[in-house]
């Protein structure tokens, strides 16, 4: 049933003008970033050839493109995820899901998988850009895989946060603003608070707080470093907010 709900959500996203607008804007911005970095790389290539260990095309072009994609996802995912539960409640169709032979967990995971499938399309399109140059230049496929993994995990965490906030309100726009505000607070405060705890010698607490710093956890993967701690933090963040969404929806069902 999870995949049935996911297919329904994916179909609804492809039928939504907002999703197509977000997808178009993303591709325009990322395409511009990619082509601009590629043009810069071609212009300085003669100078790079004289260096002992010059950065390759993957480092010069792909890394900034994926980093830009990570930043844009901070805005795009709340917009795409705002309607998942909030719109169901506003249209009073949530009662049909609640009365169906489905568990709350299946509903939440189905909606999460549907949203992530759409976001995976965006990640795939970003990855295709540098791969299109594979026939003409050498690429660092290990770095590309790390970038793709990092962006996928980061996007999954953003999607889980957006889904949770969508369970708190009946207004999709409020859900989008709330999710963006929460993600921005994590970005601005998470690492600062963790540094403060490390300065006091509270390393365990600082490590736990690092879970709330998704962009910081993306950084080592964006450099080609498979940091298991960063991967675990991103997975835990997504799992925690999915669990909160399940709990919130279950509490609402009990209240009627």
- Least trusted range by pLDDT, from 7-11, 22-26, 151-155, 197-201: 197-201
Whole-angstrom Cα distance, residue 30 to residue 133? Answer: 16
Residue 111: the pLDDT is 93
Tell me the pLDDT of the chain averaged across its residues.
Answer: 86
Q: How many CB atoms lie within 10 A of CB 37?
A: 19
Cβ-contact 57, 142 below 8 angstroms: no
Supply φ then ψ for residue 83, to 5 degrees.
Answer: -90, -5
pLDDT of the residue at 97: 75
**Measured between alpha carbons, how far is residue 62 from residues 3, 34, 56, 131, 214 in Å?**
32, 7, 10, 9, 20
How does pLDDT run across 110-125, given as a tens digit for each residue? 999 999 999 999 999 9
Read off the pLDDT band of 89 (50, 70, 90).
confident
End-to-end CA distance of the chain: 23
User: Residue 241 in contact with residue 161, Cβ under 8 Å?
Assistant: yes
């Amino acid at each position: 049933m999870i995949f049935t709900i996911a297919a329904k959500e994916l179909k609804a996203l492809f039928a939504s003008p907002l999703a197509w607008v977000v997808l178009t804007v993303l591709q325009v911005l990322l395409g511009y970033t990619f082509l601009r970095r590629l043009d810069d790389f071609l212009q300085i290539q003669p100078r790079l050839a004289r260096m002992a260990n010059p950065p390759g095309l993957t480092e010069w072009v792909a890394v900034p493109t994926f980093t830009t994609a990570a930043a844009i996802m901070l805005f795009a995912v709340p917009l795409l995820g705002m309607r998942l539960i909030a719109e169901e409640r506003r249209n009073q169709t949530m009662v049909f899901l609640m009365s169906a032979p489905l568990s709350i967990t299946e509903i939440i995971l189905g909606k999460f998988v549907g949203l992530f499938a759409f976001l995976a399309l965006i990640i795939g399109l970003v990855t295709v850009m540098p791969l299109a140059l594979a026939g003409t230049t050498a690429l660092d496929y290990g770095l590309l895989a790390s970038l793709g993994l990092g962006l996928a995990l980061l996007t999954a965490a953003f999607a889980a946060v957006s889904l949770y906030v969508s369970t708190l309100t009946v207004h999709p726009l409020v859900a989008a603003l709330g999710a963006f505000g929460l993600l921005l607070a994590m970005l601005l405060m998470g690492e600062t608070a963790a540094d403060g705890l490390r300065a006091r010698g509270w390393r365990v607490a600082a490590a736990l707080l690092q879970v709330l710093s998704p962009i910081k956890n993306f950084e080592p993967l964006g450099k080609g470093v498979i940091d298991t701690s960063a991967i675990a933090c991103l997975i835990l963040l997504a799992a925690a907010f999915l669990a909160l969404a399940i709990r919130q929806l279950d509490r609402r069902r009990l209240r009627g």
